[in-house]
Amino acid sequence: MESRFTIKNHCDINYVTNYLNKNHSKAAGEGRPLVVLIAPQEKDRTKAQNRLYWMWLHQWSKSRGTDKDYEHLYFKKNFLAKIYDRDDVGQYKKTFEAVRGLRDSNHPAYQQVADGLCELMSTTDASTAQFTEYLNDIHAFCLKQGCYLETPDDLAWVINPP
C-alpha cells in the first residue's frame, strides 16, 4: 500500500487527499494506521542519491535474505572500486595496486587487507557523476539477477541526469 506523491501544484493535493480517503480506514482496521511524511524535495543530488542507494540496498538485501551492510560492502568492492581505480580517485589507485601486489604474490594477509580496504572505501568520495554510474551499475546488476529495484518518482532524477 506504500505510495509516494510529489506535489508540484495545487491540483496534486487532490491525489494525496483521494489516496488518504480511500486507504485510511482499511489501514486503521488492520491495526496499521497510515504515516504521512511531508518534506521539501531534495535538490542536493548527493543526498538524494544516498537515499536512493540505501533504499535499493534494503530492497536487494531483502530479496537475497542478506544484510544491507553486507551488500554495501559487496557493491563497493565490485563496482565502486572499479570506478575509483579507473578515475584515479584520491589514494585509492595506489592502494588498489598494493593490494593487487599482495594477491599476485599469494601473500597470506591479502584477503584481510582487501576486506579492510573495502570497508574503508567511502561512497562520499564519489562525484555525483561517479555515484550516478555506481547506482546504474547496481541497478543493471540486480536486474540481471532477477530483482528489479524500485525507483520512486521523486528520486528518478538522480539516476537520469538531464
* CB 106 within 8 Å of CB 99: no
In this structure, the answer to whether residues 127 and 75 fall within a common structural domain is yes
Distance, CA of 70 to CA of 137 (rounded, Å): 17
* Structure-block grid coordinates of residue 57: 540496498
Q: How confident is the model at residue 46 (pLDDT cuts 50, 70, 90)?
A: confident
Q: What pLDDT is attached to residue 35?
A: 77
Which of 55, 66, 79, 73 lies closest to 131, judged by CA? 79
Residue 68's alpha-carbon distances to 33, 60, 153, in angstroms, are 27, 8, 23
Number of domains comprising the chain: 2
- Note the Cα 3 to chain centre separation in Å: 19
Which of 90, 159, 161 lies closest to 120, judged by CA? 90
In this structure, the answer to whether residues 16 and 91 fall within a common structural domain is no
* CB 17 within 8 Å of CB 34: no
In this structure, the answer to whether residues 33 and 63 fall within a common structural domain is no
Q: Of 18-27, 59-68, 117-126, which range is least confident?
A: 18-27
Q: Is 149 helix (H, G, I), strand (E, B) or coil?
A: coil
Q: pLDDT > 90: what percent of the chain?
A: 60
In this structure, the answer to whether residues 55 and 33 fall within a common structural domain is no
Q: What pLDDT is attached to residue 131?
A: 94
Q: What pLDDT is attached to residue 41?
A: 56
Task: List the domain range (segments joined by +) for residue 18.
Answer: 1-38
Tens of pLDDT, residue by residue over 136-152, are 999 999 999 999 999 99
In this structure, the answer to whether residues 53 and 125 fall within a common structural domain is yes
* Structure-block grid coordinates of residue 158: 538522480
Q: What pLDDT is attached to residue 155?
A: 87
In this structure, the answer to whether residues 78 and 135 fall within a common structural domain is yes
In this structure, the answer to whether residues 69 and 141 fall within a common structural domain is yes
In this structure, the answer to whether residues 18 and 96 fall within a common structural domain is no
In this structure, the answer to whether residues 8 and 78 fall within a common structural domain is no
In this structure, the answer to whether residues 138 and 93 fall within a common structural domain is yes
In this structure, the answer to whether residues 34 and 51 fall within a common structural domain is no
In this structure, the answer to whether residues 23 and 87 fall within a common structural domain is no
* CB 135 within 8 Å of CB 126: no
